[in-house]
Amino acid sequence: MTTFAKLGLNPTLQANIKRLGYTTPTEIQEKSIGAVLSGADTYAIAPTGTGKTAAYLLPTLQELSQVDNSDKQVRPLRALFLVPTRELALQVEASIAEFDTGLKLRTISVFGGVRITSQTKRFKRGTDILVATPKRLVDLLKEGVFSLSEVQHFVMDEADRLVSMGIVKELRTIMEALPAKRQLVIFSATDSNALAKYSETHQQHTKKISASKTQPAVNKILHTMYKCQRDHKSENLMTLLKMLNCDKALIFTRTKHDVNNLVAQLSEQGFSCHGIHNEIPQKKRQQSLTEFKNGDCKLLVATDIASRGIDIDQLYYVINYDLPVNSNDYIHRAGRTARTTPIVDPTQEAIEEKIAKQKLSVEVASTEMFGIVDAPDLKSKHIHGHVFSFVSPEQERLVPLIEKVVGKEIKLDAMPWR
């Protein structure tokens, strides 16, 4: 059995890993840590929820800790982690804080949505590590707040999203500001032709790594799709939510206007909910996300800014009010659930027991016990999440594309309660 010690991590990192409750590396961590430690350019693809963040953080933190700059008046910036969203930037910064205890490293994160002057002040003493979104990073470079000339490790997380964001100029500016000799590490849950082309252009002697192609979204999650006219989606969503009576659900819409409208409708119907999208101030977005994670609000309505890099414990339900145009984004949305083993309550176990003894279908058992046609609230020890999607006629063409990335057929059903 491979251990973190066998992967070459130092005692301090091993102690931090143990303190956080991790015992053995995941497949992507086992394959990637040595490659990143070697200093090689690395191109790693692994499904969402498989520990990619630690796979690049641990070896990078170890390399940085070889030199102690804590006594310098201004620390040189030596590692850059580029991420597509503010939420992911904050999560990566939080992960660094968990892993780097005792390493004497300093980290700063920068992103849009907050005053740039509040971020420039933080660089007076420099930093070892910078976590940044692309546009804010370029803005700070233009202001001359810091230099990337001493960066040794450049990591692109959720890299497929970065190269598809329409930020070609920003990425070019960042690459030109980096030294010619530096390590470029690319991590992504999904591969793409654009990402492969970017790698060919900017990486050399690349170590290519892929973990199992089986997505947790396939193994642990039920996928239910309902045919639904666009102008009936909100009323059917209300019906589903009342039927689920769940403690927590993440609802994805396509646009910020849909977020605002849906939050207003849900609130009017008495649901506890918040919404997040790019135009909501960062402080309010973070507060909404925190309250959702803590259970202070039951529903979070979001655009795809919430589909990547956000860990929410015990999130069982994800609802696609609209299917994403990019089929890979479906995997990222689905990957917000099934991240922890569910707590199965006695009522749910009673359903399973009744099914087993009487050989009833899930539908029959749930109808008898709850008086509903379908069984969306049936959780089990084997199923860790449930993704519902409302599919309007113009979106039906997307279903085969989603089936392809999920790797199995998803039946497009009629609405069971109509």
Render 74-137 in DSSP notation, one character per residue: SBPP-EEEE-SSHHHHHHHHHHHHHH-TTS---EEEE-SSS-HHHHHGGGTTB-SEEEE-HHHH
- Residue 364 clears pLDDT 60, i.e. is over it: no
Average pLDDT over residues 70-79: 93
Residue 40 — very low, low, confident or very high, per pLDDT cuts 50/70/90? very high
**Is 11-210 in CATH node 3.40.50.300?**
yes
Residue 30 C-alpha from the chain's centroid = 20
Residue 354 — very low, low, confident or very high, per pLDDT cuts 50/70/90? very low
Residue 2 — very low, low, confident or very high, per pLDDT cuts 50/70/90? confident
pTM of the full predicted structure? 0.70
- Beta-ladder partners of 110: 132
Fold of 216-342+383-413: Rossmann fold (3.40.50)
- Please write down the long-range contacts of 228-232, taking CB distance under 8 Å and 24 or more positions apart: 228/390, 228/391, 228/392, 228/415, 229/392, 229/393, 230/392, 230/394
Q: What's the rounded Cα separation, in Å, for the pair 90 and 33?
A: 22
- 167 secondary structure, DSSP code: -
- Residue 418 clears pLDDT 90, i.e. is over it: no
Domain(s) of CATH 3.40.50.300: residues in the chain: 11-210, 216-342+383-413
The residues near 10 (Cβ < 8 Å, ≥ 6 apart) are 62, 65
The label of the residue with tokens 């591969």 reads 191
The label of the residue with tokens 């490790």 reads 153
- Residue 85 clears pLDDT 50, i.e. is over it: yes
Q: Decide if 296 contacts 321 (C-beta within 8 A).
A: no
pLDDT for position 357 = 43
Question: What digits encode the pLDDT tens for the residues 287-320?
Answer: 898 899 888 899 999 988 777 767 777 788 999 9
- 273 secondary structure, DSSP code: E
Amino acid type, 217: A
- Percentage, residues of the chain above pLDDT 70: 87
Q: What's the rounded Cα separation, in Å, for the pair 105 and 62?
A: 10
Question: What digits encode the pLDDT tens for the residues 114-161?
Answer: 889 889 989 999 999 999 999 999 999 999 999 999 999 999 999 998
On average, the pLDDT of the chain sits at 85
Average pLDDT over residues 164-183: 94
